[in-house]
Amino acid sequence: MDLGIAGRTALVCAASKGLGRGCAEALAREGVAVTICARTEATVRQAAAEIGAATGREVRWVACDITTPQGRAAVLAACPQPDILVNNAGGPPPGDFREWDRDTWIRALDANMLTPIELIKATIDGMIERKFGRIVNITSSAVKAPIDVLGLSNGARSGLTGFIAGLARKVARQGVTINNILPGSFDTDRLRSNMVLRAKAADKPVEDIARAAQQANPSGRFGTPSEFGALCAYLCSTHAGYITGQNLLIDGGAFPGTF
Ligand code: NAD
């Protein structure tokens, strides 16, 4: 299927690896001019070169922390008027809420709620003027079913979800869609580091914990960044203009609800 977005521009945040990189690669494959960012220069530069080599498209890169005002200014200088914005950042750490002070909460809110809102604020009016815009926020299955040790994620991402539900309806007439993709368990470094923590807590080999987690999923496996990227690219396509304000769970069937 031709997604109809060749020649469009995209800013994909936090994309040197994992889910963000899956999105950047899928968009570049469709002929989108992609700019990626991540914190470490060597890593983000190498990721851009690898995506470029795999897709035959030049991928621009910015080394910055997207959760800071300076980081956002740097990516917006490199890609001021994207047609497509994919919001992503590292997830907050696990823990018990009794250990989290105000600063810990502010960091989680900055990364997983306020940074996406700031980037939307900086780019949405251009999308409205051009009568085409696609915004995808990478959130988490934790928004649909809370994960007990990830209270910071449950809270901060739900705040973003509530805000997006309102905003999406305000810009739908202008050709701009805003959707959230909710990943379940995807085979990325983030998932692997969570497995290591769980293995330590259970005093078991990490391979046993990973195998058990895969077996507990109806699909019997973890998802892949390329599967995630393909859904993101479809939501950014011309065909998805009537899908907005949605929370799309992609979890191999892990959430046990009928709807
Ligand atoms: P990952 O660790 O594999 O990759 C994260 C990417 O973000 C890397 O490129 C990293 O350099 C970049 N990054 C992190 N913080 C950044 C910052 N402040 N500024 C710029 N770049 C930054 O992680 P992932 O698994 O791809 O996860 C992406 C998001 O999805 C996270 O918020 C994570 O919590 C969430 N999530 C992941 C899963 C999963 O199973 N992998 C499930 C639910 C939610």
pLDDT tens digits, residue range 149-167?
999 999 999 999 999 999 9
**Residues 112, 153: contact at Cβ < 8 Å?**
yes
Provide the pLDDT for residue 36.
99
Query: What average pLDDT does this structure show over 97-125?
Result: 98
Confidence band for 5, pLDDT divided at 50, 70 and 90:
very high
Pocket of ligand 1 (CB under 6 A): 14-20, 37-39, 65-67, 88-91, 138, 140-141, 183, 185-186, 188-191
Provide the pLDDT for residue 163.
98
Which residue has a Cα nearest atom 17 of ligand 1? Answer: 65
Side-chain-side CA neighbours of 10 within 13 Å: the count stands at: 37
> Degrees (nearest 5) of the Cα angle 236, 183, 224?
85
Computed over every residue of the chain, the mean pLDDT equals: 97
Q: What H or E segment, with its residue span, contains residue 86?
A: strand 84-87
CA 141 to ligand 1: nearest atom: 43
Closest CA to 112 of 36, 163, 169: 163
Q: What strands lie across the sheet with 176-183, from one edge to the other? A: 60-63, 33-38, 9-12, 84-87, 133-138, 176-183, 247-250
**Residues 33, 56: contact at Cβ < 8 Å?**
no
Say how far apart CA 122 and CA 242 lie, in whole Å: 23
Which residue has a Cα nearest atom 4 of ligand 1? Answer: 18
**Residues 159, 113: contact at Cβ < 8 Å?**
yes
Confidence band for 102, pLDDT divided at 50, 70 and 90:
very high
Please report, rounded to a whole number, the percentage of residues in the chain having pLDDT higher than 90: 99
Provide the pLDDT for residue 112.
98
Please report, rounded to a whole number, the percentage of residues in the chain having pLDDT higher than 70: 100
Confidence band for 216, pLDDT divided at 50, 70 and 90:
very high
Provide the pLDDT for residue 45.
98
Confidence band for 30, pLDDT divided at 50, 70 and 90:
very high
Provide the pLDDT for residue 53.
98
Query: What average pLDDT does this structure show over 137-147?
Result: 97
Query: What average pLDDT does this structure show over 56-79?
Result: 98
Substitution candidate for ligand 1 out of 11, 35, 62, 88 with most atoms within 8 A of CB: 88
Query: What average pLDDT does this structure show over 43-62?
Result: 98
Say how far apart CA 145 and CA 255 lie, in whole Å: 8
Provide the pLDDT for residue 238.
98
Say how far apart CA 234 and CA 246 lie, in whole Å: 14
